[in-house]
Amino acid sequence: MKFEDLNLDSTILKAVADQNYTEPTAIQAQAIPLILKNNDVLGCAQTGTGKTAAFALPIIHHLVNEKQNNSKTKVRALVVTPTRELAIQIAENFTAYSKYNGIKNTVIFGGVKQMKQVKRLETGVDVLVATPGRLLDLMGQGYISLKDVGYFVLDEADRMLDMGFIHDIKKILERLPKSRQSLFFSATMPDNILKLSNTILHNPKKIAVHQVSTTAETIQQSIYYTNKHDKNDLLLYILKNKEIDQLLLFSRTKRGADKIVKRLSKQNIKAAAIHGDKSQPQRQKALESFKNNTIRVLVATDIAARGIDIDKLTYVLNYDIPNEPETYVHRIGRCGRAGEQGVSISISEPEENVYAKDIEKLINQKIEEVKNHPFPQTDKPMNAKEKKEFEKEKNRKKQEFFANRKKKRNAAGGNNNRNNRR
């Protein structure tokens, strides 16, 4: 199939050609005709599949073909997405795809001052891309009205719920016109997501692209089994491979991410971290430095990395093995996008071996083990039962720690009070 077969406005086709897209991806081929025919759509697809263009192109087409009654531009399409990074990327895509037809968009997200965003809104926009919190905030202050929204996209619905946005979404839904076209995308479709989709969509057409098989086809995956204390040295050993020009490294925790950056910097390997404790300008700077090649390693936590779109990213490294196998699929989906070759390298310490097994089950594929390396696993790996015991013991210790701390604090508080009285 070609883009020309999709009956999109010629200004859109021209913009798509400028992006060097030769043919629609699977999700685009399925979604675009349905959206052009005004259907609501329930799409199961993750970032990296070409999902943004799948909804952006037909929405722009509708907007170009709709007559504007009013001279002042109103928000006619609303895209709500969980993270700032995703929001920025979606807006950038809208800008690229509407290059030749003057459909205007803007993006709003929290963590930065609102003034610039408000000013841009006041000039009038057709498409608004937003994260939920800032959207509600600016609606509350009277800067945004949703009464003219004819197209609504809820992006990454599963991640939205994971991040606790359910109440915000419900509030936004209350303010949307009843008569509208709605598109709902999620990487996974558990029951709570389907339930939410039922409250938003009207007779939706369902489409799915199978991320797991895409993963298997385009991404070469390998795993190193090692010990906890050897992880850092193993990372340095892996980075000796000069073919790894740039690497997106995942760390489970923010603190872990900062530590890795410190250690790499000590070895003169340029690195930066992107996570929830970094300010928006810091995150932007890290991402830009990675994109323009001034740093070699970008260290990210899962939520911060969500939606990061880096053209031609080949290497992804899992410094730990995520305990939810879906997270692994999300992580390695950052590389090898839209059919490009990708390489995923994972490091497993004994405790994480069971998680690696879960992942292999989900992707229905054995991840190739790298056997000859200087830091093989010598500590005894745990089986599922031992792992359960271990977690139980860990929780018990944690609770004990907090209980002790509380006791100490109470005792200290008592002293303070006595001091105050004196």
Residues in a beta bridge with 273:
299
CA distances in angstroms from 222 to 226, 227, 260, listed in the order given: 13, 17, 21
Contacting range for ligand AMP; rule: CB under 6 A; set: 6-14, 17-25, 166-174, 291-299: 17-25
For residue 294, the minimal CB distance to ligand AMP (Å) is 21
Among 12, 15, 29, 53, binds ligand AMP (CB under 6 A): 53
H or E element at residue 249:
strand 247-250
Determine the Cα–Cα distance for residues 258 and 304; give it in Å rounded to an integer: 13
Contact status, residue 335 vs residue 316, Cβ threshold 8 Å:
yes
Residue 235 carries which DSSP code?
Answer: H
Alpha helix locations (H) across 269-333?
280-291, 302-305, 325-332
- For residue 50, state whether it binds ligand AMP (rule: CB under 6 A): yes
Taking the mean position of all CA atoms in its chain, how far away is CA 404? 38
Among 47, 182, 344, 346, binds ligand AMP (CB under 6 A): 47
Contacting range for ligand AMP; rule: CB under 6 A; set: 46-54, 341-349, 368-376, 403-411: 46-54
For residue 324, the minimal CB distance to ligand AMP (Å) is 21
Decide whether 92 or 324 has the Cβ nearer to ligand AMP: 92
State the maximum Cα–Cα separation within the chain, in Å, rounded to a whole number: 84
Decide whether 174 or 311 has the Cβ nearer to ligand AMP: 311
Segment 163 to 182, residues that bind ligand AMP, using CB under 6 A: none
Determine the Cα–Cα distance for residues 327 and 306; give it in Å rounded to an integer: 10
- For residue 155, state whether it binds ligand AMP (rule: CB under 6 A): no
Decide whether 258 or 302 has the Cβ nearer to ligand AMP: 302
Interface mask toward ligand AMP for 295-314; x: CB under 6 A: --------------x-x---
- For residue 318, state whether it binds ligand AMP (rule: CB under 6 A): no
Residue type (1 letter), 349: E
Determine the Cα–Cα distance for residues 45 and 389; give it in Å rounded to an integer: 36
Alpha helix locations (H) across 201-324?
211-218, 231-239, 254-266, 280-291, 302-305
- For residue 320, state whether it binds ligand AMP (rule: CB under 6 A): no
For residue 270, the minimal CB distance to ligand AMP (Å) is 24
Q: How many residues bind ligand AMP (CB under 6 A)?
A: 15
- For residue 49, state whether it binds ligand AMP (rule: CB under 6 A): yes
Decide whether 180 or 337 has the Cβ nearer to ligand AMP: 337
For the chain, the helix, strand and coil percentages under 3-state DSSP, each to the nearest 5: 50, 15, 35
Contacting range for ligand AMP; rule: CB under 6 A; set: 41-49, 276-284, 373-381, 382-390: 41-49
Q: Token pair of 1, please?
A: 């199939």
Among 51, 159, 180, 278, binds ligand AMP (CB under 6 A): 51
Interface mask toward ligand AMP for 324-343; x: CB under 6 A: -------------xx-----
Decide whether 11 or 52 has the Cβ nearer to ligand AMP: 52
Among 9, 34, 48, 105, binds ligand AMP (CB under 6 A): 48
Beginning with the edge strand found earlier in the chain, give each strand of the sheet holding 368-369 in spatial order: 271-274, 297-300, 247-250, 315-318, 342-348, 219-225, 368-369
Contacts with ligand AMP by CB under 6 A lie at 21, 24-25, 28, 47-53, 309, 311, 337-338
